[in-house]
Amino acid sequence: MGTREVGYVGLRGNRVGFAALGVQRWCTGRIAFRKGKGSEYVACPQQRPVDVGSQCAECESKDGFRFVHTIHRGGFVSRELEAHVMQPHWLYIATFANGVHKVGTAADTRKWGRLAEQGAMCAQYVARAEDGKVIRVLEDRVTEALQVRQAVRSSAKAAALALPIDTARLDAATGALAARVRSMIEPEDGETEYRIVDESWQAPGFRDLATGNRLAYPNDLTAGTHGFTVDACIGQTAVVTVEDSSYVVDLHELKGRRVEFGDYSTELPPVQSALF
């Protein structure tokens, strides 16, 4: 607390302990474009509390990415954002543990990292264009024609990971939908704005996630103390070990909230034995 420095905490394979410092959310800052240096994170200068969303009004108004999802529909575009969107982009179909599909876009520089941070189980890239606006137009076409959503709630992604996962079924469903999308957006003769691609991706440890021996983390992350070993990260969800049992933790609940790191542990609620 009281600092604007940005720090990083390694998760996968490490033990993480922290004490929650309340349910209040605080501004998470913004992304700024730097001439010749791409984009970078800027902490909120006033470290303001927020009641809705994750940014205060000042940071939101200055955030260089806030128009990125509507840039292809017209309206305000800064030169920096224009340069970002005009780089090569990819269109993908991603599938999550609950079987829900999503259509999305990724810049060339974020091609594989984008899928990992989304928390997808598997995905296929279906198109590539030199102009990111073209890919965003295709994204809207897929949503309108096939009713494929462009966002999936973090809580739904986490809840599904606590259930048995049929990875073969998810992979097959992704391939089938991706094939439909490629057929639907196949360029007309002579059209060169974009090209169809066929590239697959799977989350690290994809097959291992089919074991289904995980439980939903029973404690509120915004209260008390917590300590666990992180076995895997799928987007903003972590698969952790507490007292030799595997749990699914939705780390999105910590976004914008303050914690104190230390040698803390999780006190699991008692489990009543069956009477018969």
**pTM across the whole model:** 0.80
Question: What pLDDT is stored for residue 273 in this prediction?
Answer: 47
Q: What is the CA radius of gyration of the chain?
A: 21
Q: Is 110 helix (H, G, I), strand (E, B) or coil?
A: helix
Question: What pLDDT is stored for residue 20 in this prediction?
Answer: 97
DSSP state, residue 149: B
Question: What pLDDT is stored for residue 68 in this prediction?
Answer: 61
* Per-position b or e across 150-184, b if 16+ CB within 10 A of its CB: eebebeebbbbbbeebebeebbebbbebbebbbee
Question: What pLDDT is stored for residue 113 in this prediction?
Answer: 87
| Burial class of residue 238 in the structure, from the number of CB atoms within 10 Å of its CB (0-12 exposed, 13-18 middle, 19+ buried) | buried
Question: What pLDDT is stored for residue 72 in this prediction?
Answer: 57
| 245-250, strands of its sheet edge to edge | 214-216, 245-250, 237-242, 225-234, 15-20, 259-261
CA 231 to chain CA centroid, nearest Å = 18
Using CA atoms, how far apart are residues 211 and 231, in angstroms rounded to an integer? Answer: 14
Residue extents of the structural domains in the chain: 1-21+213-276, 86-212
Question: What pLDDT is stored for residue 45 in this prediction?
Answer: 87
In a 13 Å sphere around the CA of 81, the CA atoms on its Cβ side amount to 19
CA 128 to chain CA centroid, nearest Å = 21
Question: What pLDDT is stored for residue 191 in this prediction?
Answer: 84
Question: What pLDDT is stored for residue 276 in this prediction?
Answer: 47
The tokens for 98 are: 């609950």
Question: What pLDDT is stored for residue 70 in this prediction?
Answer: 58
Averaged in consecutive runs of 10 residues, what is the pLDDT profile of the chain (276 residues)?
68 94 93 68 90 90 68 58 75 95 91 89 96 90 96 89 90 97 92 94 83 87 96 91 94 94 93 51
